[in-house]
Amino acid sequence: MIKKLWSNVKQYKKSAVMTPVFAMLEVFMETLIPFVAAYLIDEGINGGNGSGDMSSIIKYGCLMVLMAFLSLTFAILAGKLAAKASTGFAANLRSSMYSKIQTYSFANIDKFSTGGLITRLTTDVTNIQQAFQMSTRMAVRAPITLISSLVMCFVINTRISFVFLGAIAVLGIIMVFVVKKVSGIFAEVFKKYDELNTDVQENITAIRVVKSFVREDFENEKFKNASGLLYKVAMRAEKIMALVSPGMMLVIYSLIIAVSWLAAHFIAGGSMTTGELTSLFSYISTVMMSLMMLLGVFAMIIMSLASARRIVEVLDEEPAVKQPDDPVFEVANGDIVFENVGFSYRKGGGDRTLCNIDLHIRSGETVGVIGGTGSGKTSLVNLISRLYDVDEGVVRVGGVDVRKYDIAALRDNVSVVLQKNLLFSGTVLDNLRWGNEHATRQECEAACKAAAADEFIKKLPDGYDTMIEQGGTNVSGGQRQRLCIARALLKKPKILILDDSTSAVDTGTDARIRSAMKDAIPGTTKIIIAQRIGSVKDADRIIVMEDGKINGFDTHENLLKNNAIYREIYDTQMSMGGDFDESPAGKGV
Amino acid sequence: MAQVPGPRRDRMKVDEKIEHPVRMLFRVMKYVLKKYKWLYLLALVCIAAAAVAALMGTLFQKTLVDEYIVPNIGAADPDFAPLLAVLSKLAMIFLAGVIVSYVQQRVLAVISQGSLKTIRDDVFTRMEKLPIKYFDTHSHGSIMSVYTNDVDTLRQLISSSVPEILQTAVTVTITLVSMIAMSGYLTLVSVGMVLVSFFVTARVGASSGKYYAKQQQQLASVNGYIEEMIQGQKVVKVFNHESRAIETFEEKNEELRQSANRANGIANILMPINGNLGHLSYVLVAVVGAILAISGRADLTLGTIVSFLGLNKSFSRPIRQLSAQVNSIVLALAGAKRIFAIIDETPENDEGKVTLVRVSAQDDGSLVEQSERTGRWAWKRVDQAGREELIPMLGDVRFNDVDFEYRENHPILHDIDIYAYPGQKIAFVGSTGAGKTTITNLINRFYDIKDGEILYDGINVKDIKKNDLRHSLGVVLQETNLFTGTVMENIRYGRLDATDEECIEAAKLANADSFIRRLPDGYNTMLKNDGANLSQGQRQLLSISRAAVADPPVLILDEATSSVDTRTEVLVQRGMDSIMKGRTTFVIAHRLSTVRDSDCIMVLEGGRIIERGSHEELLEKRGRYYSLYSNNFSEE
């Protein structure tokens, strides 16, 4: 995991490595300063036979100031480099994850929730950035101080140093114990935290449901339970963490007492001086300080471990739809064949969404798909452009297994207008050009005419240059759908799939779109999923779906005669009338 | 969903400026102290006690040498008994220090985690009370970030910054007193240098604060982009838009990196600058002390200078360390500001007094309040004299000349008059944006009207307690919102005390039962991410089941079956009609099949009702409805 993350430091490796080097130099200067200070006292204040030596004072004073400046320079360099390395590292992590997510197939996207991916790209990266910065600055500094103090101890008195060594060993054991105990709990804390956030998110988006059912108190109760659980788990971690600082104090204090006792004997025996004892005490306090620092870094690393794990999960995720080794780039025509296809969203669980599908759609044919809610219409067409891969059987486009195509080439030729479609912030033209980056304005307008969108776009405040808000919230559902169709048309695909794409468009406009498309892209295979018989009845053939199977595949007339389900749908719709929303005569929005 | 005009407030709009930082800090502390006054006091006592124990340790080192070791030097028969005695005494003090420090840690943990929980709970509770308008005018991302980012920044403030400030105050005061006692002149030098430190910290802190604000802004921009693109990830895939999406992302990412680099770079040098100012202070004290000692102007001995140098260190070090906290304190206060912004937001007002009660009819026709489900309701009004009056709940809804606007001078509805007699099915048709959904938002008072009145069984809806008003109205929206939990739990959301059988019964009515049974775990299937693996039609069937189990006296269906196939819709309608028999139903739809059999159809256009009547009457009128209908008809 660490290796995976470290590989993302990339061009900032130099900064990342130089940071501790400068930090070391800074520590070096810092340890020297008290040394010089001792000279200043001994030779300056205490020198000149006790009456003081002004020149020594100034000499050592200047030296100290110089050293302070050097130390400052090193510190600034270390600080700047640490910032550069950590923020660069964070940027690289975001970039790697984002690029990785771009390779995800629909199945991968379904697995991570949108919210989950966003948190990983934001909060988790920030955690790592902070931990990384702390570690590069402190992680080297603290051990070095620790070791240098230990070395100095050995120089002063070997026997006492063993006591010292023992104390450090005990501290090390305490730390390892705490890290081990706590990191598991922290993972749980993060899980609970995620759950809590999901709860909040759902409440915000579903606030109308909450208020309609007057469930505010219920939701409060639910939230309090969740936050109470979080509190409990967090407290379990805190309880262990609370042991650390007193534990360290206990060891250090014991050390002071042991050293005092031993030193008293040594000094009395003449094998040690009082000055050395004073030094020893100061080293003890240095050790204490650096351990505290180390502990801070440790705590940070423990907390960021969970984040690191979540980031690596994104990076390690295998795209479910893979680019073939020797891809085919040419899609010959819009001929589609399904051969004994079976498919399920949940691998190995639940009912299969599609089974035993055999189908041949000829190039240039217009095919309607109709069927009940959850009958597998969307799943069926999603297999054509490899938004998902089949579990069994084969889907062929232009005579070639879809899994053999270059994915981009396949999707350029198979244009899908998704059921849950979105526009992005940007102008109308920007959005249209998703279909074809280089489309001219004329081409865009032509596509919009074919999608019956031209009329309302021209009525927008800035026409084709009107800004669309995130998600396309400032145009109506029907308008959004028409823009999405126009966007898909611009791709000039060999196969065009409309997944219930005109559900919010009134029947008149719907009819106009269909006839315009017939003229605009006559050679394109068109698959139209719809609820309305009217939308599919003049298709060349119509697929009737029922419970993940094909119940009928024939012309409107033949289906009316031979297919019970189709006839039933037809009857209910004919007797009840069609539907209406925005009529061509309507004002629109 | 209501179309609320006007730009949405920018996600996490960066307004890092805090008007009254100290007041904000006090407000946070007040929050903490409200519940943990005594515990916090205990923590403070512990902090002071631990500091004293540490100080005793330092002081002991001096006496150790002078009084217990030096007398033994060269002694033929050293006497360690006094040393042993004093060491055991010290051990006791240390042990007390350790215990006190443990107590302090535990207590602070309880306080910080507990306060975080309280703040989270409070923010959530307040949020639930906010009017719909708040959610329509604030981006959901920015509300979320209060929970995900801002509350967390407070933890450090409560558990580490504030105690550290207090600890520093204790240590600094004790050392300052000792310093003054030793030498006034040297104290001046020391304090002077600390002031310089303060000045530098303030300056550097201000400029890093500026860069931090910039960083936050870039961060918000990157977050916004990520949010939009990840949400549209499937569209990105379909259009092979990956490389371009990465390109734009890289630009924003690089901008963020640069400003983060600058902000962190400046913040990182703050501590070393202060650290080296500490060294400088050390030199200055030594030099000045030496000069004073040599010139004999002050009564300074070597011992005093050495001790003073030590004190100088313990005087400036905590202040230095505190400066490292400046940034996190600023961040925390910025977070606190956003937290309190939600807490201070005006909650939904509710001046209504009339409540909804279950009743049963006596033999003589009079109504009696009941606690169990009876299938009959009544409005309970208590007049000023305290007399209770039960008005039968019939579902008679009237709009009298209602005007409404979301924004000042941008009227959405004009002169709306509606009469829905008990048991009627009233439909609204018209183009998107004509104001259909807005009307239903007014009945349940998600928004309040500007002019006119809405009467519910003759009672102004403003006089009805909001909760009771909403209890009386079942609403199914086009945009389904399901919660994380099992299918059963989601249905039960409609009525919390519904049994499994009642939930299944409701699902059958809504025609959801058959697909639910085909799910991997049937009714116990866990739904996540708003029911991600269900089709839109299935989600709608579930939300209809949810409303059906609630068994409401009045039902509002806002495009509730728009994604359900027509065959299923017929079955659903049949089911709903059977439970809504004799109850009022409002229906919004663009499918004729959904509205055709309504008692009265209102055709809305541009915020006005332009036609009304039954299907047949409207056809006879040969107006707008007729043209819509015939337009459809010629299509088929």
Which of B128, B132, B214, B218 is best to mutate for the A interface (most A CBs within 10 A)? B128
Average pLDDT score over chain A: 83
Q: In the predicted model, what is the mean pLDDT of residues B434-462?
A: 86
**What number of residues does chain B have?**
636
Average pLDDT for residues A129-149, to the nearest whole number? 80
Query: Distances in Å between the alpha carbon of B572 and those of A504, A568, A581?
Result: 20, 16, 21
For residue B531, what pLDDT band results from cuts at 50, 70 and 90? confident
CB within 8 A of A84, min separation 6: which ones? A12, A15, B261, B265
Which residues 558-597 of B are in CB contact (within 8 Å) with A? 562-568, 570, 589-594, 596
Closest Cβ–Cβ partner in A418, A511, A588 for B431 = A588
Q: Which residues of A touch B489 (CB under 8 A)?
A: none
User: Which of the listed ranges A531-535, A582-586, B122-126 does the model predict with the highest average pLDDT?
Assistant: B122-126
Interface test with B, best of A9, A63, A249 (most B CBs within 10 A): A249
For residue B545, is pLDDT > 80? Answer: yes
Across the interface, do B484 and A198 touch by the CB < 8 Å criterion?
yes
pLDDT of amino acid B504: 93
pLDDT tens digits for range A30-39: 777 766 777 7
Host H or E run for residue B405:
strand B397-407
Cross-chain Cβ contact B483/A197 below 8 Å: no
A residues 152-211 lying closer than 8 A (beta carbon) to B: 196-211
Token representation of residue B301: 């001995």
Q: Chain A residue with minimal CA distance to B532? A: A110
Contact list, B467 vs chain A (CB under 8 Å): 214
Residues B266 and B215 sit within 8 Å (Cβ to Cβ): no
- State pLDDT tens for residues A258-316: 888 888 888 887 777 776 777 777 777 777 777 777 777 777 787 788 788 889 989 99
Residue B592 has pLDDT above 80, yes or no: no
- Residue B565 CB coordination number (10 Å): 23
Check B121 against A84: CB less than 8 A apart: no
Residue among B264, B446, B633 minimizing CB distance to A211:
B446
Angstroms from A328 CA to nearest CA on chain B: 16
**Segment B256-270, tens digit of pLDDT:** 999 889 888 888 888
State whether residue A243 is helix, strand or coil. Answer: helix
Name all domains of chain A by residue range, CATH numbers in brackets: 2-316 (1.20.1560.10), 336-576 (3.40.50.300)
pLDDT single digits (tens) B505-523: 999 988 888 889 888 888 9
Tell which of A31, A54, A76, A209 to mutate to test the B interface (max B CBs under 10 Å). A209
Mean pLDDT of the region B196-213: 80
Portion of chain A with pLDDT greater than 90, in percent = 20
Q: Residue A379's closest chain B neighbor by CA? A: B535
The closest of A38, A36, A57 to A48, measured between CA atoms, is A57
Is B98 in contact with A504 (Cβ distance < 8 A)?
no
How does DSSP assign B154-202, residue by residue? Answer: HHHIIIIIHHHHHHHHHHHHHHHHHHHHH-HHHHHHHHHHHHHHHHHHH
Residues B528/B534/B538/B544 CA torsion (nearest 10 deg): 10
Q: So what's the pLDDT on residue A46?
A: 63
What per-residue confidence (pLDDT) applies to B11?
34
Place of tokens 């909804």: B356
The answer to whether the Cβ–Cβ distance between A95 and B140 falls below 8 Å is no
- Are A203 and B128 in contact, with CB atoms under 8 Å apart? yes
What backbone phi and psi angles, to 5 degrees, belong to A246?
A: -60, -35
Binned at pLDDT 50, 70 and 90, residue B490 comes out as very high
A390 within 8 A of A341, measured Cβ to Cβ: yes
* Alpha carbon of A340: minimum distance to chain B alpha carbons (Å): 22
Cα A442 to Cα A457: distance, rounded to the nearest angstrom: 14
User: Count of alpha carbons within 13 Å of B258, Cβ hemisphere only?
Assistant: 5
Mean pLDDT of A84-95: 93
- Pairing status of strand A541-546 against strand A366-371: parallel
The C-alpha atoms of residue B618 and residue B629 are separated, in whole angstroms, by 10
Which residues of chain A lie closer than 8 angstroms to B528, CB-CB? 113
User: Which pLDDT value is given to residue B614?
Assistant: 87
Compute the half-sphere exposure of residue A386: CA atoms within 13 Å on the CB side of its CA.
27
Residues in CB range of B167: below 8 A, 6 or more apart: B47, B51, B318
Q: Does A17 touch chain B (CB under 8 A)?
A: no
Distance CA A13, CA A6 (A): 9
- pLDDT (mean) for A132-142: 79
Q: Which helix (H) or strand (E) holds A516?
A: helix A507-520
Is the pLDDT confidence value at A586 over 50?
no
Q: What is the CA radius of gyration of chain B?
A: 36
What's the pLDDT band for A348 if we cut at 50, 70, 90?
low
Q: Do B105 and A470 touch (CB under 8 A)?
A: no
Residue A534 and residue B636: Cβ atoms within 8 Å?
yes
In terms of phi and psi (left: phi > 0; alpha: psi -120 to 50; beta: otherwise), the region of A415 is beta
| Alpha-carbon distances, residue A501 vs A422, A529, A532, A556, B141 (angstroms) | 12, 8, 11, 20, 28
What are the pLDDT digits (tens) for B10-56?
Answer: 333 444 455 677 888 888 888 888 888 888 889 888 888 887 787 77
Q: Do B132 and A208 touch (CB under 8 A)?
A: yes
Q: Tokens 């100061």 belong to which residue?
A: A282
Query: What's the rounded mean pLDDT across residues A387-396?
Result: 91
Q: Does residue A415 contact residue A488 with C-beta atoms inside 8 Å?
A: yes
- Please report the pLDDT score of residue B336 as a whole number: 86
Q: How many CB atoms lie within 10 A of CB B613?
A: 17
Confidence of residue A527 (pLDDT cuts 50, 70, 90): very high
Confidence of residue A361 (pLDDT cuts 50, 70, 90): very high
For A423, the closest chain B residue by CA position comes to B232
In this structure, are strands B584-588 and B554-558 parallel, antiparallel, or unpaired?
parallel
Q: Which of residues 501-540 of A touch B (CB under 8 A)?
A: 503-504, 506-508, 510-511, 531-534
Asked if A205 lies within 8 A of B530 by C-beta distance, the reply is yes
- Rg, Å, chain A Cα set: 36
Question: Does A202 contact B483 at a Cβ distance shorter than 8 Å?
Answer: yes
Whether residue B123 is predicted with pLDDT greater than 80 in this model: the reply is yes
Q: Name the residue among B87, B253, B467 with its Cβ closest to that of A214.
A: B467
CB atoms within 10 A of CB B200: 15
DSSP codes joined into one string, B207-240? HHHHHHHHHHHHHHHHHHHHHHHHHTHHHHHHTT
pLDDT at residue B4 greater than cutoff 60: no
> Nearest-5° angle of CA A214, CA A215, CA A220?
135
Q: Within an 8 Å CB–CB cutoff, is residue B96 touching chain A?
A: no
What per-residue confidence (pLDDT) applies to A93?
A: 93
The pLDDT tens digits for A194-224 are: 788 888 888 888 888 888 888 888 889 999 9
- The Cα–Cα gap between A392 and A374 comes to 20
Q: How far apart are CA B383 and CA A560, in angstroms?
A: 65
SS (H, E, C) B51-115: HHHHHHHHHHHHHHHHHHHHHHCCCCCCCCHHHHHHHHHHHHHHHHHHHHHHHHHHHHHHHHHHH
Q: How far apart are CA B580 and CA B568, in angstroms?
A: 18
Beta-carbon pairs below 8 A across chains A and B: 495
Among A474-483, A526-535, B336-345, the least confident range: A474-483
Residue pair A88/A18 in contact (Cβ under 8 Å)? The answer is no
**β-bridge partners, A308:** none
Predicted confidence band at B59 (pLDDT cuts at 50, 70, 90)?
Answer: low
Please tell me what DSSP assigns to residue A553. E
Give tens-digit pLDDT for B163-178. Answer: 778 778 877 887 888 8
Separation of alpha carbons A142 and A156, rounded Å: 21
- CA dist B405 and B422 (Å) reads 28
Chain Cα centroid distance, residue B71: 68
Beta strands at A414-417 and A495-499: parallel, antiparallel or unpaired: parallel
CB neighbour list of residue B326: distance below 8 Å, 6 or more residues apart = B201, B205, B270
B73:A270 CB<8 A = yes
- The answer to whether residues A149 and A141 touch, using CB atoms and an 8 Å cutoff, is no
- With residue B121 as reference, give the H or E element that holds it: helix B81-129
Residue A143 near chain B (CB below 8 Å): no
In angstroms, the CA A559 to CA A552 distance is 7
ipTM of the complex as predicted: 0.80
In this prediction, residue B298 has a pLDDT band, given cuts at 50, 70 and 90, of low
User: How far lies A55's CA from each of A36, A545, B288, in Å?
Assistant: 15, 100, 13
Note the pLDDT tens digit of each residue in A96-131. Answer: 999 998 888 888 887 777 777 877 888 789 889 888
Say yes or no: B121 contacts chain A, CB-CB below 8 A: yes
What is the token pair recorded at B36?
Answer: 């943990």
Q: What's the CA gap between A256 and A164, in Å, rounded?
A: 10
Q: Which of residues 154-213 of B touch A (CB under 8 A)?
A: none
Average pLDDT over residues B126-145: 82
Residue B15, H or E segment: none
What are the b/e assignments for B244-265, b being 16+ CB within 10 Å? ebbeebeebbebbbbbbbbbbb
- The distance of B74 to chain A (nearest Cα, Å) reads 6
Mode of pairing for the β-strands spanning B600-605 and B425-430: parallel
At A161, the amino acid letter reads: S
Cα→Cα distances B179→A29, B183, B273, B469, B595, Å: 27, 6, 24, 71, 88
What mean pLDDT is predicted for residues A358-385? 90
Grade residue B3 by pLDDT with cuts at 50, 70 and 90. very low
Predicted pLDDT at A515 = 85
Q: Whole-angstrom distance between the N-terminal and C-terminal Cα of chain A?
A: 53
Q: Which of B235, B593, B605 lies nearest to residue A576, judging by beta carbons?
A: B593
Separation of alpha carbons A72 and A52, rounded Å: 30
CA-nearest of A504, A564, A546, A566 to A380 is A546
A180 vs A178: CA distance, rounded Å: 5
